[in-house]
Amino acid sequence: MSFSNELLKWYQQNKRDLPWRHTSNPYIIWLSEIILQQTRVEQGLPYFQRFLEQYPDVLSFAAAAEDDILKLWQGLGYYSRGRNMLKTARTVVDNYNGSFPQKYDDLIKLKGIGEYTATAIASFSANEAKAVVDGNVYRVLARYFGIDEPINSPKGKKLFQQTANELLNKQQPGLHNQAMMEFGAMLCKPKNPACGICPVREGCYAFLHNAVNSLPVKLNKVKVRDRYFNYFLVTDGDNILMNKRDDKDIWANMYDLPLVETDTLLTPEELFYLPMVKEIFGTDIKLVEILPLKKHILTHQRLHVRLIILNNQPVKLKEQYFFTPIENLQKLALPKIVFIFLKNIFNL
């Protein structure tokens, strides 16, 4: 029995029952694919369900406010995905009469949709004969065929795509792609793959040559940058001072607290002496408490975040600062790390 047939047989018997597998609606498949980028299925499923309930079609999604999308996205990370989804939904309404495209050539033009996502949507919704290559598929192909070309090199990407194309079941491309991805996610896992019950292990290079842990190969990652975030909590009665972020950095257009970023972790005395701190709070800092430092990991960035609580503190308001009732915090799109701080303080 061929690799593809063995794979399809395994898939039919072992696949997870996931809601987006019961439809060929490209809007619903798009929703699931974007949410599941960089996100585990267990984490992404509740978000998918909430988004689909709130925005059952592309028309309702396109009509949403960006703040509402970001608030619903809170905790998923990579917030540009949510912003790009809104742009895509509005493009579909404007340029495709509200009918979500199914063809790869149309999908690839939309904001936030790359080769993988365009291929997945076209394959799953219209059975277009294109091979999907995601992290799971890279791993399966590298191990089974013994490919040691780095998966994140230009040559490697081309080689893996070519291999996936040759392997594709042209009669059932959508099912084949689902099976490849599920096989990598559930059986041929990054660590401790279930080789003992693998239906294709007798033809697997990695299994036969004891190379499971050395494949796939990946070039060294980009250096991680350390950033130190000093957030200031200032209240005025039942109101709290907030900051509206711009679109030039992480958490674009979201809300957080007045922030002073430093290159290293400073003592309170060093921090309060900085010109930027004096400009906002003056020289008479009414310190209540500095909460313990929390670490927050992003792609290529490691944030060291602490919260500095001030009392009856005069503030020179910047353009992006504003006071809002504490009870309104639940409605604002906040970075997860900021939300955790405020949730613990105000029992949100």
SS3 state of residue 323? strand
CA–CA distance, 342 with 66 (Å, rounded to integer)? 22
DSSP assignment of 287-313:
EEEEPPPEEEEETTEEEEEEEEEESS-
Q: Please give the positions annotated as active site.
A: 33
Residues 6+ apart with CB under 8 A from 278: 272
DSSP assignment of 220-261:
PPPPPEEEEEEEEE-EETTEEEEEE--SSSTTTT-EE--EEE
Give the Cβ contact number of residue 345 at 10 Å: 17
Instruction: Work out whether the CA dihedral 322, 327, 333, 338 comes out positive or negative.
Output: positive
**Which value, to the nearest 10 degrees, does the dihedral of the CA atoms of residues 325, 329, 332, 337 take?**
140
CA–CA distance, 268 with 270 (Å, rounded to integer)? 5
